[in-house]
Amino acid sequence: MAARATLSPGSSLPMSSSLAGINDGVSVTLSPDAVPFSPLAPGDREEMGSVAGQFSHYASKLRSLRAGDPASLKTQLNLLFDQLISENYSPNHNIRPEEVCALLIHVTRLVPLSQEHLVVKLCQLTHHLLNQLQVIVDEQTLDVCVCYVVRALAVCSLWTHSEVLQALSTLIYGNGPRCNRHLIELLGDGGVLRLYSDPSQPDMELRRAALTCMANLCLGVPGQAFLEDPYRSVCFRVFLQTLQSPKPPDAEELLYCTVIQGAVKGLQSSLCGGKWRFGGQEELGALLAVLKRLMFQGCPGVCVEWPSVLYPTPLPQYETCSAPKPPEPPQNPPTQTSGNKKKKSRGRGRKGGGEDEEREAEPRLQRGGRGGEAWSKTSVLPSPGVPSLYPLWKRSSSDSEFSDPEGAAHSKLRLFHGRVRQGVLLCLLAVVKAVEKRTLYGYWSSFIPDAPIGGPPPLTLLTVVLKDPSPKVRACALQVVSALLDGSRQFLGVAEDLAPARTSYTPFSFSLATAVRELHRSLSLALLAEASAHTLTQIIKCLAHLVCNAPYNRLRPGLLSPLWRQIQPYLRHRDVNVRVSVLTLYGALVSTQAPLSEVQLLLTHTSQETGLSWRQREGFSSPHTPPSHKYHNSHTPRGSHTPGEEEPGVPWLLQLCVSLVTQPKDDQSDSEGPGGGGATALEPSPVRLEALQVLAHLVRGYFPLCQACLCELGQVSARCLRETDPSIQLHGAKLLEELGTGIIQQYRPDNSQSESCRVPISQVVQFWVDVLSGPLNGALQSHQHPTLQTSACDTLSSILPQAFTQLPEKSQVLCVTVLLGLTYSDNSLVKAAAVRALGVYILFPCLREDVMFVADTANAILTALDDRSPNVRSKAAWSLGNLTDTLIVNMGCVGEIFQEELSDMLVLQMLQSATKAAFDKDRVKSNAVRALGNLLHFLSVSQLTRPGFQRPLEEAVSALVTTVQSEATMKVRWNACYALGNAFRNPALPLDSASWSGDAFSALCCVVTSCQNFKVRIKSAAALSVPACRHCYGDAERFGDVWRSLAAALEHSEETQDFLEYRYCSSLRHTLTHTLTHLLRLSQSQDMPALGMSLVMEEGRGFKEHLIKYLRGEGGTDGGRRGGGGGTDGGRGGGTEGVGGTEGGRGETEGERERKGEERVRTLGETLERLRSLCVDGREEGDEGRDRGEEERSALVVVAFLEDVLRSCEELKVSHSD
* pLDDT tens-place string over residues 997-1012: 999 999 999 999 988 8
Q: What is the mean pLDDT of residues 850-863?
A: 94
Q: Is 731 exposed, middle or buried (0-12, 13-18, 19+ CB in 10 A)?
A: buried
Tell me the C-alpha to C-alpha distance, in Å, between residue 235 and each of 153, 188, 229.
20, 11, 10
Tell me the C-alpha to C-alpha distance, in Å, between residue 240 and each of 40, 312, 359.
57, 19, 41
Smallest Cα–Cα separation from 532: which of 493, 575, 569, 501?
Answer: 575
Bigger pLDDT: 313 vs 130: 130
**CA-CA distance, 962 to 918, in Å (whole number)?**
9
In percent, the amount of the chain with pLDDT more than 90 equals 42
Contact indicator for 1073, 1115 with CB cutoff of 8 Å = yes
Contact indicator for 470, 418 with CB cutoff of 8 Å = yes
What's the pLDDT score for residue 176?
A: 81
Residue 648 DSSP SS3: coil
**In whole numbers, what is the pLDDT of the chain averaged over residues?**
79
pLDDT digits (tens, 9 = 90+) for 1020-1074: 999 999 999 989 998 989 999 999 999 998 888 877 766 666 677 888 889 999 9
What's the pLDDT score for residue 935?
A: 95
Terminal-to-terminal C-alpha distance of the chain: 107
Q: What is the mean pLDDT of residues 590-601?
A: 90
Residue 321 forms beta bridges with which residues? 304
SS (H, E, C) 219-287: CCCCCCCCCCHHHHHHHHHHHHHHHHCCCCCCCCHHHHHHHHHHHHHHHHHHHHCCCCCCCCHHHHHHH
pLDDT digits (tens, 9 = 90+) for 1103-1150: 888 888 888 776 554 444 334 444 445 444 444 333 333 333 445 667
pLDDT at 947 over 80: yes
Where helices occur in 648-709 by DSSP H, the ranges are 652-662, 685-701, 703-706
Fill in the amino acid letter for 572: R
Smallest Cα–Cα separation from 343: which of 250, 233, 448, 454?
Answer: 454
Q: What is the mean pLDDT of residues 715-744?
A: 94
Burial 633-670, CB ≥16 within 10 A → b, else e: beebbbbbeeeeeeebbbbbbbbbbbbbbbbebeeeeb
**CA-CA distance, 1008 to 1016, in Å (whole number)?**
8
Residue 664 forms beta bridges with which residues? 682
**CA-CA distance, 355 to 361, in Å (whole number)?**
10
Determine how many CB atoms are found less than 10 A away from the CB of residue 576. Answer: 18
Query: 308-317, 377-386, 472-481, 762-771: which range is least confident on average?
Result: 377-386
| Cis-peptide into 334, omega within 30 deg | no
What's the pLDDT score for residue 381?
A: 34
- What DSSP state is assigned to residue 925? H
- From start to end of 831-950, where are the E strands? none
Number of H helices, E strands in the chain: 55, 0
**CA-CA distance, 189 to 1067, in Å (whole number)?**
64
State the Cα angle at 734 between 729 and 735, rounded to 5°. 100
**Using 50, 70 and 90 to split pLDDT, how confident is the model at 763?**
very high
Tell me the C-alpha to C-alpha distance, in Å, between residue 334 and each of 562, 572, 812.
8, 26, 53
Residue 814 DSSP SS3: helix
Fill in the amino acid letter for 1031: H
pLDDT at 196 over 50: yes
What's the pLDDT score for residue 1153?
A: 72
pLDDT at 348 over 80: no
Bigger pLDDT: 675 vs 380: 675
What's the pLDDT score for residue 81?
A: 87
What's the pLDDT score for residue 1214?
A: 67
Where helices occur in 823-869 by DSSP H, the ranges are 828-841, 845-848, 851-865
**CA-CA distance, 491 to 437, in Å (whole number)?**
9
Contact indicator for 883, 842 with CB cutoff of 8 Å = yes
pLDDT at 10 over 50: no
Bigger pLDDT: 247 vs 626: 247
Where helices occur in 10-112 by DSSP H, the ranges are 42-48, 51-64, 72-86, 97-110
**CA-CA distance, 354 to 466, in Å (whole number)?**
9
Residue 645 DSSP SS3: strand
pLDDT digits (tens, 9 = 90+) for 34-60: 334 344 445 444 444 477 788 888 888
Cβ neighbours of residue 421 under 8 Å, at least 6 residues apart? 294, 295, 296, 297, 298, 464, 468, 470, 473, 476
Residue 321 DSSP SS3: strand
Task: Give residue 381's region: left, alpha or beta (phi > 0; psi -120 to 50).
Answer: beta
Query: 360-374, 794-808, 1136-1150: which range is least confident on average?
Result: 360-374
* Positive or negative: CA dihedral 100, 102, 103, 109: positive
**CA-CA distance, 690 to 582, in Å (whole number)?**
9
**Using 50, 70 and 90 to split pLDDT, how confident is the model at 386?**
very low
Contact indicator for 131, 91 with CB cutoff of 8 Å = no
Query: 121-135, 609-623, 649-663, 1026-1040: which range is least confident on average?
Result: 609-623
Count of CA atoms in the C-beta half-sphere (13 A) of 577: 9
The 3-state DSSP composition of the chain as helix, strand, coil percent (nearest 5) reads 65, 0, 35
**CA-CA distance, 128 to 120, in Å (whole number)?**
12
Q: Which of 256-265, 350-359, 1151-1160 is predicted most confidently? A: 256-265
**CA-CA distance, 846 to 806, in Å (whole number)?**
10
Bigger pLDDT: 431 vs 87: 431
Contact indicator for 1122, 1144 with CB cutoff of 8 Å = no
Q: What is the mean pLDDT of residues 174-196?
A: 86
pLDDT at 850 over 50: yes
Burial 1083-1106, CB ≥16 within 10 A → b, else e: bebbbbbbbbbbbeeebbebbeeb
**CA-CA distance, 189 to 338, in Å (whole number)?**
58
**CA-CA distance, 308 to 1122, in Å (whole number)?**
61
What's the pLDDT score for residue 1133?
A: 42
Residue 642 DSSP SS3: strand
What's the pLDDT score for residue 1198?
A: 86
Q: What would you report as the CA-atom Rg of the chain, rounded to the nearest whole angstrom?
A: 39
Q: What is the mean pLDDT of residues 266-292?
A: 82
Q: Could you please report the per-residue DSSP string of 976-1013?
A: HHHHHHHHHT-TTS-TTT-TTHHHHHHHHHHHHHH-S-
- For 557, phi then psi, to 5°, come to -60, 155
**CA-CA distance, 669 to 649, in Å (whole number)?**
26
Q: What is the mean pLDDT of residues 643-664?
A: 76
**CA-CA distance, 404 to 400, in Å (whole number)?**
9
Count of CA atoms in the C-beta half-sphere (13 A) of 978: 33
